[in-house]
Amino acid sequence: MKPERIEKYNLRNIHFEGTLFSRFTLGVNFVYTTGNIPAGNTSTDVEAYLPEVFFTLNSSKFQMFSSYAHKKTDVTANILYPVNFSSYGDGLYLSGNY
């Protein structure tokens, strides 16, 4: 079976994480991608950025994890969508155990 369309992406990631104290870890992550999405007789170029910061806290009775990420996507104009546009989004995740 042949797929109706094939999307091509070039994905890059960089990740740093370090323990500041014996029970506290802080980290950052950055994902960047470029892509091409075909639609009919034309295609759309996209770029997406996804920076994230996170931390973990562990003790004998309590564990906590939190992460915040912000996404930006840039889409170039084409015949179907004649205007460049950007979209943004934020996400926060928090988890705790006792």
| Residues 59-72 pLDDT 10s | 989 999 999 999 99
| Residues 10-56 pLDDT 10s | 999 999 999 988 899 999 999 999 999 888 788 899 999 999 999 99
Full-model pTM:
0.79
Q: Which long-range contacts (CB under 8 A, 24 or more apart) does 77-81 make?
A: 78/42, 78/43, 78/44, 79/41, 79/42, 80/39, 80/40, 80/42, 80/44, 81/44
